[in-house]
Amino acid sequence: MISAIIQARVSSTRLPNKVFADIKGKPLLWHVVDRLKKSIYLDNIIIATTDNIADDLIQDWAIENKISCFRGSESNVLKRYYDTAKNNNSTTIVRITADDPFKDYKIMDNVINEFISQKVDFACNNFPPTYPEGLDVEVFSFSALETAYKNSLSDFEKEHVTQYFYKNTNDFKIVSIKNDTNLSNLRWTIDTQEDLEMTRKIYNKFTNNKSIYLMKDILKILIENPEILEINKKVGRSKMYKS
Q: Of all helices (H) and strands (E), which one includes residue 2? A: strand 2-7
* Strands 26-27, 68-72: pairing kind: unpaired
pLDDT of residue 14: 78
Tens of pLDDT along the chain (243 residues) come to 999 999 999 987 778 899 999 999 999 999 999 999 999 999 999 999 999 999 999 999 999 999 999 999 999 999 999 999 999 999 999 999 999 999 999 999 999 999 999 999 999 999 999 999 999 999 999 999 999 999 998 999 999 999 999 999 999 999 999 999 999 999 999 999 999 999 999 999 988 766 789 999 999 999 999 999 999 988 876 655 443
Spatial contact of 181 and 189, defined as CB atoms under 8 Å apart: no
pLDDT of residue 236: 74
175 SS3 class:
strand
Spatial contact of 9 and 58, defined as CB atoms under 8 Å apart: yes
Q: Which of 4, 12, 9 is nearest to 192 (CA)?
A: 12
For residues 209 and 221, give the distance between their C-alpha atoms in angstroms, rounded to a whole number.
Answer: 16
Strands (E), 89-215: 92-97, 122-124, 138-141, 174-176
pLDDT of residue 207: 82
pLDDT of residue 209: 64
Spatial contact of 98 and 6, defined as CB atoms under 8 Å apart: yes
Domain 2-237, CATH homologous superfamily name and number: Spore Coat Polysaccharide Biosynthesis Protein SpsA; Chain A (3.90.550.10)
pLDDT of residue 215: 97
Residue 234 zone, left/alpha/beta (φ > 0; ψ -120 to 50; rest): alpha
* Strands 138-141, 122-124: pairing kind: antiparallel
Compute φ and ψ for 213, nearest 5 degrees: -95, 125
pLDDT of residue 212: 87
84 SS3 class:
helix
pTM of the full structure: 0.93
